[in-house]
Amino acid sequence: MSSGPANVSRETGSRVPGMLDSSSFDAETFGNTPFGHISPSETPIAAEAQRASQILHPGKVTVPKPREQRIITIANQKGGVGKTTTTVNLAAALAHQGMTVLVVDLDPQGNASTALGVAHHSGVPSSYELLIGEVKVKDAIQVSPHSERLLCVPATIDLAGAEIELVSMVAREGRLKTAIQDAATAGFDIDYVLIDCPPSLGLLTVNALVAAKEVLIPIQCEYYALEGVGQLLRNIGLVQAHLNPELHVSTVLLTMYDGRTKLADQVAEEVRNHFGDVVLKAMIPRSVKVSEAPGYGMTVLDYDPGSRGAMSYMDAGRELASRAQVTQDAS
Ligand SMILES: Nc1ncnc2c1ncn2[C@@H]1O[C@H](COP(=O)(O)OP(=O)(O)OP(=O)(O)O)[C@@H](O)[C@H]1O
Ligand SMILES: [Mg+2]
């Protein structure tokens, strides 16, 4: 993890409430208190205490480990809705909570690689070489300097040509799926694979949809939020019908929520009416800290662990992990 005063919020400049004395908020101690029967999601103070404990003890397993590896594609062809921000911060949140997470950067912009602090200049083994079959996944995986449980296959500018190069290749839609299957045999015990897509519905996104079982759609709480989502859902339907029957939209996450505006609430309500239970209760607030973090090669969890943005991604990670448990237990 990054050095520095992890328990001091850069947003407020003050110490994060409840973080002065780590022992008082250790998750185990917390569970043994007279309030142990109260779920952290039931009271704001309980939730705050649990998050503080997780940030003070990064890596402690505090969410259920999925029974089998979960591969989740983060897609929305609308640009700038928070795909990359969600991919890297959710990955960091899951890693903080004890999971091993691989981020596959499938956007030639390489923003996810930047935020995770991994090298992604031309020549570095990347998702491009993986797709064209020039390297094995074990040779393309880098460990983020912020956590040994946070892994990344970076994207370099070479990926910009991949959409065209892939057209003439054999099994062009399934190349990423085949390539990342090797990770398990290469000795990486990965709990979650998160794939960051570019803002298009081309072959890169199709490869991501074929490689995953789940799709997470980030939706920005702004005008035209649902614009283009219909097209995305139709494409997911096509991939499901022809290439990957297990694919489904498991999660929708509302991003850049600004509680001061009526519009944000209206959009949130519309999205919840449209998608129902797959929408996470946690919403990501619009926050300067979230947008500043990548400039330092960091996720917001490392940049300002006490900020609202970091807390909300921790909440989203926990919700995502516990929901899987429910679905997997039911099946
Ligand atoms: N919660 C947030 N609060 C403030 N700014 C945010 C938040 N989430 C994302 N941003 C900013 O919004 C911009 C777009 O976010 P991001 O790059 O994650 O979107 P994207 O969907 O991946 O974009 P693209 O389609 O170009 O890949 C970035 O500058 C990012 O820092
Ligand atoms: Mg992006």
Looking at the CA of residue 87, tell me the nearest atom of ligand 1. 18
The best mutation among 85, 104, 229, 254 to test binding of ligand 1, ranked by most ligand atoms within 8 Å of the C-beta, falls on 85
Both tokens of residue 19?
């973080």
Domain contains 2: no
Given a cut of 60, is residue 33 above it in pLDDT?
A: no
Cα(93) to ligand 1 centroid in Å equals 17
Structural domains of the chain, count? 1
CA 170 to chain centre: 30
Range of the domain at 232: 71-330
User: Ligand 1 atom 6: the closest Cα is on which residue?
Assistant: 291
Looking at the CA of residue 287, tell me the nearest atom of ligand 1. 3
Domain contains 65: no
Which of 179, 116, 112, 125 shows the shortest CA–CA distance to 149?
Answer: 116
Given a cut of 90, is residue 50 above it in pLDDT?
A: no
Distances from the Cα of 302 to the Cαs of 51, 78, 211, in angstroms? 14, 27, 29
Domain contains 15: no
User: How confident is residue 10, by pLDDT bands cut at 50, 70 and 90?
Assistant: very low
User: How confident is residue 182, by pLDDT bands cut at 50, 70 and 90?
Assistant: confident
Stronger pLDDT, 39 or 309, i.e. the higher one? 309
**Mean pLDDT over all residues of the chain?**
85
Given a cut of 90, is residue 323 above it in pLDDT?
A: no
Cα(83) to ligand 1 centroid in Å equals 7
Q: Are 119 and 81 in contact (CB under 8 A)?
A: no
User: How confident is residue 27, by pLDDT bands cut at 50, 70 and 90?
Assistant: very low
Range of weakest confidence among 2-16, 42-56, 180-194, 283-297: 2-16
Residue type, 288: V
CA pair distance 152, 143, nearest whole angstrom: 6
Given a cut of 80, is residue 186 above it in pLDDT?
A: no
Residue type, 16: V
* Confidence at residue 325, expressed as pLDDT on a 0 to 100 scale: 52
* Confidence at residue 187, expressed as pLDDT on a 0 to 100 scale: 77
Residues with C-beta less than 6 Å from any ligand 1 atom: 79-85, 107, 111, 199, 255-256, 284, 286-287, 290-291, 309
Stronger pLDDT, 36 or 159, i.e. the higher one? 159
The CATH number of the domain where 76 resides is what? 3.40.50.300
Range of weakest confidence among 30-44, 252-266, 285-299: 30-44
Domain contains 137: yes
Domain contains 49: no
Given a cut of 60, is residue 1 above it in pLDDT?
A: no
pLDDT tens profile 232-278 = 999 999 999 999 999 999 999 999 999 999 999 999 999 999 999 99
User: How confident is residue 45, by pLDDT bands cut at 50, 70 and 90?
Assistant: confident
Looking at the CA of residue 285, tell me the nearest atom of ligand 1. 1
Task: Using only the alpha carbons of the chain, give its radius of gyration.
Answer: 19
What is the secondary structure of 266-321 as a DSSP string? HHHHHHHHHHGGGEEEEEEEP-HHHHHGGGGT--HHHH-TTSHHHHHHHHHHHHHH
The best mutation among 109, 257, 291, 311 to test binding of ligand 1, ranked by most ligand atoms within 8 Å of the C-beta, falls on 291
DSSP 3-state of 221: coil
Give kind and range of the element (H or E) at residue 152.
Answer: strand 150-153
Given a cut of 60, is residue 44 above it in pLDDT?
A: yes
* Confidence at residue 30, expressed as pLDDT on a 0 to 100 scale: 35
Range of weakest confidence among 20-34, 69-83, 270-284, 303-317: 20-34
The best mutation among 84, 229, 256 to test binding of ligand 1, ranked by most ligand atoms within 8 Å of the C-beta, falls on 84
Cα(297) to ligand 1 centroid in Å equals 15
**How many other CB atoms are there within 10 angstroms of residue 132's CB atom?**
16
Q: Are 159 and 182 in contact (CB under 8 A)?
A: no
Domain contains 32: no
User: Which residues neighbour ligand 2 (ion) by CB within 5 Å?
Assistant: 83-84, 111
Domain contains 185: yes
pLDDT tens profile 56-72 = 666 677 788 999 999 99
Domain contains 53: no
User: How confident is residue 14, by pLDDT bands cut at 50, 70 and 90?
Assistant: very low
